[in-house]
Structure 1
Amino acid sequence: MAKITRHNSNPILSTAVEYHNFVFLSGITADDLSQDITGQTKQVLAKIDAALEAQGTDKTRLLSAQIWVKDIRDREAMNKEWIAWLPPGGQPARACVEANLASPRHLVEIMIVACR
């Protein structure tokens, strides 16, 4: 049976799960919630870079992304940062929806699946 490795687990979630060279990241949010959608998106993408690196991969190996925004009208500003962050030709399968997030101050949350 293949091994499942869970990282930084707590009673609710693991921040990353590895299985057969796939890396599943939990939803990632910004730390500085005083920032607007652009600032929060930049923070989230930097945290994704660090989380992928910690798991031995990077954004060139993205498979899918789920993105939640507090206000769908912020999608264009979020997409501007997203497009600038993506490597050329590295667009994952993706969904982006409006949602109530854990705190009213959270403006974006992104969940990633990548491979090694």
Structure 2
Amino acid sequence: MSVQRIEQNPRMSEASKAGNLVILAGQVADGETVASQAQSIFDSIDALLEKAGTNKANILFANIYLTDINDFDELNKVWEGWVAADQGQTPSRATMQVVRLARPEWKVEVQVFATV
């Protein structure tokens, strides 16, 4: 089975596709609030999934990393407006607090696993 790399650079690929499985790297974004970062992240996820030939209705699982778990409700408002719940396709997920992300201004990071 071959592996397709999407938006690859010398360090990593933003997405990898093998067979019917698509795995995205953790997505981060700039912005002042968790909500603004999350919306940008979800837009990036939509674009990457499209490049892989799929969409958010096919997300199996999401890992969500927050630098402050007190931002959980703010994140969930954006998440609930984004996921494909209207299609009966709310994915499984885990949300956890981390000490920090790779850059101190990043407040949230999201990684997803999807099918084609």
The corresponding residue for 1:81 is 78
**What does the per-residue CA deviation read over 1:53-100, in whole Å, with 9 as the maximum and x for residues that have no partner?**
111110011101000011010011001100111112211121111111
Distance 2:77 2:71 in 1: 10
Percent of aligned positions that are identical: 35
The corresponding residue for 2:3 is 4
User: How many positions carry a matched residue from both structures?
Assistant: 113
TM-score for the superposition, normalised by structure 2: 0.91
The corresponding residue for 1:113 is 113
Aligned partners of 2:59 and 2:112 also within 8 Å: yes
Unpaired runs of 5+ in structure 1?
A: none
Distance 2:79 2:39 in 1: 8
The corresponding residue for 1:101 is 101
The corresponding residue for 2:61 is 64
Distance 1:21 1:6 in 2: 14
Aligned partners of 2:65 and 2:110 also within 8 Å: yes
Unpaired runs of 5+ in structure 2?
A: none
Runs of 4+ residues over 2 Å off in structure 1: 7-12
Paired AA for residue 70 in structure 2:
R
Distance 1:65 1:91 in 2: 10
The corresponding residue for 2:21 is 22
Aligned partners of 2:6 and 2:52 also within 8 Å: no
How large is the Cα RMSD of the aligned pairs?
1.1
